[in-house]
Amino acid sequence: MKTIVYQAIAHALNDVGVEIVTFVPGYGASDAFQSFNELTFKNHKISFHEEVAYTISHGASIVGKRAVTLIKAHGFLKAANSILDSLYTEPIAGFVTVIFDDKSGKHSDNILEIIPVLKGMGIPFRIAQTETVYEDVINTFLESEKRKMPTAIIIDADIIYNETEFNPISNLKKHFFYERNVYTHVVSPLLSDYQYKLFVAKKLEGNLETVTRPSLPIIPDSLTNDVKKASESFIPFFEIFKSIKRDISTGDTGSSSVFAFPPYNCIDIVTYMGGSIPLAIGAYLAGKKNVWALTGDFSFIAAGHLGLLEAINREIPLKIVIFYNKKSVATGGQLINKKLLRHLLAGYEKYISNITNPFDLFEIEAILTEALNSKELKIVIVDYKE
């Protein structure tokens, strides 16, 4: 089949069964994205920030849908926080980032050498060629699933209008089944040594079975005194939340996410601070419709609000919980201007419910039940008084 490189990319994504596509407009990426939408007769939405776009696709891949992110090389650096954490997880379905490399810098702020960045991160990648771009994209997905890692493919943006040829490959589509696994879906300091050893084994294509799996921490008994003290205020909330019906709950690498572990088992996927909302969007797009995102006010102010914009743009009825304690609990209790959260949420008042007493089990249950039964986006603010 004779075609153009950007169209071959779209055909490869379609033939391999990609269902979740995220994209930030940029030279090269825009043509491939538009071609994929036309080929599949769908209207996948654009994203505004590469960190959010990457994390949405990452979340979808963890719950079992092949996913791709189409971004420029410069945008890849904007997503680096999420990318680094994703390397310590295991996507259940293939997850690929297609990086369009503007080598001349004619369509970018400057010239960036992306290969040393990828090597430094340790993310597996390949460089596509005009003649083999269709097969290159497909093989990058298969490598992701073989290694159980996110992978990347570099496309020289200057070749996207070149002619190419490929023979369509059938029978590539595959069903994947999500199974909760906090060892490989919850990035946490409590598992960092184990997850690092797994990462090294995957990077070197070693035997993952040789990495000894530790016992899971028991909350709050396994926590250090400082972390235990910081987490105590969350216990009443999670005593109720553990009984609230949900398909998937996502979190950030903050103090509240220790409740991913026994006996609470309340959170299923955790990456960087601010990642809970885009992870939840990815899970929702992958078919998990009762999805909750739990975040702290520091994480939300830092990056989570970018995901909230994406949820609004896509009209996704997430359930979002923000622990409003006016400080960065995970990093030593640095104070946060209490007005910042309310300013950020000023345009979302109709979606907000407040838990005014985070130690009142009856109020917690009533507000969470109301959010659960809503068919709209709900933002629950758990207000810890000063």
Same domain, 298 and 234: yes
Residue 151's DSSP bridge partners are: 96
Same domain, 115 and 240: no
Same domain, 244 and 356: yes
In a domain, 180, yes or no: no
Bigger pLDDT: 139 vs 334: 139
| Sheet strand arrangement including 125-127 | 20-23, 67-72, 95-101, 151-156, 125-127
Sequence-distant (6+) residues with CB within 8 A of 272 are 55, 81, 82, 84, 85, 187, 252, 253, 303
Q: Which of 165, 186, 212 finishes a domain?
A: 165
Question: For residue 135, what pLDDT is reported?
Answer: 98
Tell how far CA 307 is from the center of its chain: 10
In the predicted model, is pLDDT for residue 330 greater than 80? no
> Helix, strand, or coil here: 147?
helix
Same domain, 209 and 149: no
Mean per-residue pLDDT over the chain, rounded: 94
Inter-residue contact 237 to 284 (CB < 8 Å): no
- Model confidence at 202, in pLDDT bands (50, 70, 90)? very high
Q: Which of 146, 165, 184 finishes a domain?
A: 165
In a domain, 191, yes or no: no
> Helix, strand, or coil here: 236?
helix
CA atoms in the 13 A half-sphere facing the CB of 163: 2
Helix %, strand %, coil % for the chain, to 5?
45, 15, 35
In a domain, 70, yes or no: yes
- pLDDT tens for residues 251-300? 999 889 999 999 999 999 999 999 999 999 999 999 999 999 999 999 99
Question: For residue 335, what pLDDT is reported?
Answer: 79
Q: How many domains does the chain have?
A: 2
Average pLDDT over residues 191-199: 96
216: left (phi over 0), alpha (psi -120 to 50) or beta: beta
Distances (CA, A) of 66 to 16, 164, 177: 8, 25, 12
In the predicted model, is pLDDT for residue 108 greater than 90? no
In the predicted model, is pLDDT for residue 249 greater than 80? yes
- Model confidence at 223, in pLDDT bands (50, 70, 90)? confident
Same domain, 201 and 155: no
Question: For residue 309, what pLDDT is reported?
Answer: 95
Bigger pLDDT: 232 vs 366: 366
- Model confidence at 383, in pLDDT bands (50, 70, 90)? very high
Question: For residue 296, what pLDDT is reported?
Answer: 93
Question: For residue 231, what pLDDT is reported?
Answer: 84
- Model confidence at 85, in pLDDT bands (50, 70, 90)? very high
The helix-helix angle for 29-40 and 5-15 (nearest 10°) equals: 50
Distances (CA, A) of 73 to 34, 40, 69, 275: 19, 26, 12, 21
How far is the C-alpha of 332 from the C-alpha of 255, rounded, in Å? 11
Sequence-distant (6+) residues with CB within 8 A of 14 are 36, 39, 40
- Using a pLDDT cut of 70, give the percent of the chain over it: 99
Question: For residue 254, what pLDDT is reported?
Answer: 84
Parallel, antiparallel, or unpaired: how do β-strands 151-156 and 291-296 relate? unpaired
In a domain, 179, yes or no: no
Average pLDDT over residues 66-74: 97
- Model confidence at 160, in pLDDT bands (50, 70, 90)? very high
Average pLDDT over residues 330-341: 80
In a domain, 175, yes or no: no
In the predicted model, is pLDDT for residue 3 greater than 80? yes
In the predicted model, is pLDDT for residue 123 greater than 90? yes
Please report, for the domain that includes residue 101, its CATH number: 3.40.50.970
How far is the C-alpha of 146 from the C-alpha of 158, rounded, in Å? 30
In a domain, 336, yes or no: yes
Average pLDDT over residues 176-198: 96
- Using a pLDDT cut of 90, give the percent of the chain over it: 87
In the predicted model, is pLDDT for residue 79 greater than 90? yes
Question: For residue 103, what pLDDT is reported?
Answer: 87
> Which range has the worst mean pLDDT, 44-53, 89-98, 329-338, 360-369?
329-338
In the predicted model, is pLDDT for residue 39 greater than 90? yes
Q: Which domain holds residue 357?
A: 196-383
Average pLDDT over residues 230-249: 94
Same domain, 132 and 63: yes
Question: For residue 105, what pLDDT is reported?
Answer: 84
Question: For residue 156, what pLDDT is reported?
Answer: 96
Same domain, 159 and 201: no
In a domain, 222, yes or no: yes
Same domain, 6 and 95: yes
